[in-house]
């Protein structure tokens, strides 16, 4: 019998003691600040689900990781928002528009589902969520969300916000809303040793040699063709126009991230010149690369400090710029040599 047909529960099926957060922090060699400690206490003691929100870089994803790892069950699922929707749409098609059957397949009996970087800007995603959340919450699945937005700021487009209000009210009714709003953006003080933070932002573009034309290759990681300037040995080089001006989606970025562990993105203009839709795609790319911890070299026409000047800014620009701010620039790199 699938999990969507289980009897609803009034409390969490599994708990995590506050000591789990202190123990995990000690192993990581970090100290939880006061705001993180309070949020950890809410995660440890609140019955039902949690909606954990706050500004970028405050440690929401880390606390969720500790919580998920410490849950004394294998019936749990932690998934990034982009990744989940990448899987949900084809699963629904496979099950002939049967959402319950698609969720049964994807979550495989999970009692606890953790969504990281939860946000709702796209009306189509909002419609899915208006069906998904009631199904999860009314059938005993504990839902934990992290977000940069308080619930009332979800679906900010005024043309669609009112239609999403019932889902917001459902979140507020069934989940404990916890703000994590400490004073430090820890991304700005991280080391640049590995993963995404080991990449760089290079400007001007002439400071970096480009691939030869005969190195170009076209691949279709998520079903439709994408042109790479170079793609071999677990590394890819792609131009901004091929990645963000052409019609691409998070499913493409996730598929590329699974195949290539080092990226170079070149010919990046300032966001004012890029336009709204390419800018939003670029923001989605940065989210995927950061969350998958992919070492990335960004080659741009402008310094990072001028990247958003006068632009029609995409959603989540503060989070995107916070993530890009973890990168050393060419000037920083040269000063070390």
* pLDDT tens by residue, 132-156: 888 777 667 888 999 988 999 998 8
| DSSP string for 255-295 | HHHHH-SEEEEEEE--HHHH-HHHHHHHHHHHHHHHHTT-E
- Please give the torsion angle defined by the CA atoms of residues 167, 172, 176 and 177, in that order, rounded to the nearest 10 degrees: 100
**What is the separation of C-alpha 233 from the centre of its chain, rounded to a whole number of angstroms?**
26
pLDDT at 47 over 80: no
- If you average pLDDT over residues 61-87, what whole number do you get? 84
Residues 219 and 116 in one domain: no
Residues 170 and 246 in one domain: no
pLDDT band at 62 (very low <50, low <70, confident <90, very high): confident
- If you average pLDDT over residues 113-123, what whole number do you get? 84
Identify the residue with better confidence: 237 or 130: 237
Q: What Cα–Cα distance (Å) separates residue 34 from each residue in 2, 76, 170? A: 41, 28, 29
Q: What are phi and psi of 73, to 5 degrees?
A: -160, 155
**Residues 107 and 75: beta-carbon distance below 8 Å:** no
- What pLDDT, in 10s, does the model give residues 198-256? 899 998 766 567 899 899 999 998 888 999 999 988 899 999 999 999 888 888 898 89
Per the structure block, which two tokens stand in for 321?
Answer: 């710029």
Number of domains in the chain: 2
- Residue 173: per-residue pLDDT: 92
Is there a domain that residue 92 lies in?
Answer: yes
Using the 3D structure, point to which of 115, 147, 179 is the last residue of a domain.
179
Range 37-57 burial, b when 16+ CB lie within 10 A, else e = bebbebbbebeebbbbbbbbb
Report the share of the chain in percent with pLDDT over 90. Answer: 26
pLDDT at 315 over 80: no
pLDDT band at 120 (very low <50, low <70, confident <90, very high): confident
- Residue 12: per-residue pLDDT: 45
Q: Which domain holds residue 258?
A: 190-335
Q: Which of 300, 217, 288, 212 is nearest to 264 (CA)?
A: 300
Which CATH number is 147's domain given?
3.40.50.300
pLDDT band at 9 (very low <50, low <70, confident <90, very high): very low
- Residue 7: per-residue pLDDT: 34
Which CATH number is 321's domain given?
3.40.50
Average predicted confidence (pLDDT) for the chain: 82
Residues 128 and 24 in one domain: yes
Is there a domain that residue 185 lies in?
Answer: no
Q: Which of 333, 271, 257, 281 is nearest to 305 (CA)?
A: 271
């Amino acid at each position: 019998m699938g999990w969507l047909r289980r009897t609803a529960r009034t409390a969490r099926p599994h708990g995590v003691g506050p000591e789990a957060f202190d123990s995990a922090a000690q192993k990581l060699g970090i100290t939880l600040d006061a705001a993180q400690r309070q949020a950890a206490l809410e995660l440890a003691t609140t019955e039902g689900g949690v909606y954990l929100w706050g500004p970028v870089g405050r440690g929401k994803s880390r606390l969720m990781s500790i919580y998920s790892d410490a849950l004394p069950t294998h019936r749990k699922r932690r998934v990034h928002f982009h990744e989940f929707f990448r899987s949900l749409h084809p699963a629904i098609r496979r099950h002939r528009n049967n959402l319950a059957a698609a969720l049964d397949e994807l979550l495989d009996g999970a009692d606890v589902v953790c969504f990281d970087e939860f946000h709702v800007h796209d009306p189509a995603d909002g419609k899915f969520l208006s069906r998904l959340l009631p199904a999860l919450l009314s059938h005993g699945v504990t839902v934990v969300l992290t977000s940069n937005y308080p619930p009332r700021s979800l679906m900010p487009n005024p043309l669609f916000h009112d239609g999403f209000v019932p889902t917001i009210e459902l979140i507020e009714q069934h989940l404990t809303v916890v703000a994590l709003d400490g004073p430090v953006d820890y991304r700005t003080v991280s080391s640049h040793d590995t993963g995404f933070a080991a990449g760089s932002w290079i400007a001007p573009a002439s400071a970096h040699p480009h691939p030869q034309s005969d190195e170009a290759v076209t691949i279709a990681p998520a079903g439709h063709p994408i042109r790479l300037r170079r793609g071999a040995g677990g590394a890819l080089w792609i131009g901004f126009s091929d990645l963000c001006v052409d019609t691409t989606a998070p499913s493409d970025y996730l598929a590329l991230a699974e195949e290539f562990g080092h990226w170079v993105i070149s010919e990046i203009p300032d966001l004012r010149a890029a336009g709204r839709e390419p800018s939003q795609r670029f923001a989605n790319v940065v989210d995927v690369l950061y969350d998958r911890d992919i070492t990335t070299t960004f080659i741009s026409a402008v310094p990072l400090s001028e990247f958003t000047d006068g632009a029609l800014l995409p959603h989540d620009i503060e989070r995107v710029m916070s993530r890009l701010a973890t990168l050393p620039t060419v000037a920083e790199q040269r000063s070390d040599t």
